[in-house]
Structure 1
Amino acid sequence: MCKITKKAIVPMMVVVFYLIYLYVLMAYFWQNGWVIRGSELTASNLKLRFLFDFAGYLVMVFVLILVTVVQEKSTKSLGLTSQNNYLTGGLLLLYLAMFVGNQDFTLKGFYQAFFYLGVVAFSEEVIFRGYLYGKIEKEYGFLSGVIISGIFFGVVHAFLPSIMENASIGVLVREMLSEVIGQGILGGAVFVILYKKSGTLYVPILVHGLINYSGVLLN
């Protein structure tokens, strides 16, 4: 039987507290009518949209990076390394090509491109793969790291849809459970494999961004 260690509990508790914070923030913004969809973005509400994205996603990432740099003098343990520069560069060029191909050079178009890569993909990969998976994998190995980080990764995707539908706690739990296997564990496993094979978190960040942004092109 695996012994539960402090090195595993601490990162899981950090992510639990982050998810609680994120859920409360999302609910607060929604109740006040401050949640701005990408299609609704204008110059007048850009600051509010960025505040939501920064407070909900990027603050946690910056905290993790800062703490890691202070403790380790490097971001290597988070996977933010310069390995596989050619692959990383190629994926970045592909993302730029998709942006140009979308032919939306309005404020909304630029922010969507930034959001899917610089906010969603970057924050989720750092939090769930670079930080949580990395800590769990060191203690319990690849499979445990994939499953535990995947569970948290799946759960977060049920938050905003449930809030926007004014769903009950029971519905929220059901939505979270439905997200855990597919988008959570299986989807997370793909990003972990990309991370481990490439040696850098920038590869799954870019692939994650490409997948998310492709939805814009298909609409």
Structure 2
Amino acid sequence: MNKQKFNNYIAIPIIISLLYIIYFYVAIKFIIECNMLISINNITINNIGTKFIGDFFVMLLVPLILAVIYRKRLIEFKLHFVHTYLQYVLIAIMMTLFLLHGDFTIRGYYKLFFYLVVVGFGEEFIFRGYVYNELLRHNKFLAVIVSGFFWGILHAILPDYWLEMV
């Protein structure tokens, strides 16, 4: 593989990470400025659709676009379900915690969905699935550092939003 092609394979995941962080920031800023931000603790049957649409556009749109673009390589991004007992144990633990928490309102169900599907799929697919596995093909150290760095940046900008909401 020539050096130019190698540099492209490294540059593309980094550029996509940067674009995703910028998109994430702009999308949340837009939602806040349009007064459409709904706290997960304030979900009702009347606003759950608005909450889901906002969550979809912020957390799931970019991963779904990447999934369509790379649909023939999804197994490389670890986006396939392999039955293991550990997965069933973790699901059982999550369901037990959900039942013990006792919030069987629409808010409680949405919290379960939000943390397991929206946040879990969005972050895992972008940073661990796409960025990490694309870079892992060339350099494991670089894959760990870059995917962790961008994941950290995404979480570093979140407190700024929570301060704006207060």
- TM-score higher than 0.5 here? yes
Q: Which of 142, 155, 159 in structure 1 is aligned with 2:153?
A: 155
- Contact 1:26–1:160 (8 Å) recurs in 2: no
Q: Deviations over 1:120-141 (max 9, x none)?
A: 1121111100100111111112
Residues 1-219 of structure 1: pairs in structure 2 closer than 5 A = 5-69=7-71, 72=72, 74-141=73-140, 143-166=141-164
Q: Deviations over 1:184-204 (max 9, x none)?
A: xxxxxxxxxxxxxxxxxxxxx
State the identity as a percent. 31
Q: Which runs of 5+ in 2 are unaligned?
A: none
- Contact 1:30–1:164 (8 Å) recurs in 2: no
Quote the RMSD (CA, aligned, Å).
1.6
Q: Which amino acid aligns with 1:126?
A: F
More RCO (CA 8 Å, sep 6+)? 2
Post-superposition shift, 1:13?
0.7
Q: Deviations over 1:55-96 (max 9, x none)?
A: 011111211222221xx2x52111123335221122112111
Secondary structure at the residue paired with 1:157?
helix
Secondary structure at the residue paired with 2:136?
helix
Post-superposition shift, 1:16?
1.0
| TM-score (ref. length: structure 1) | 0.69
Q: Deviations over 1:9-62 (max 9, x none)?
A: 011111211111110111111122211111111112111111111001111121
Deviates more, 1:32-41 or 1:147-156: 32-41
| TM-score (ref. length: structure 2) | 0.89
- Contact 1:128–1:152 (8 Å) recurs in 2: yes
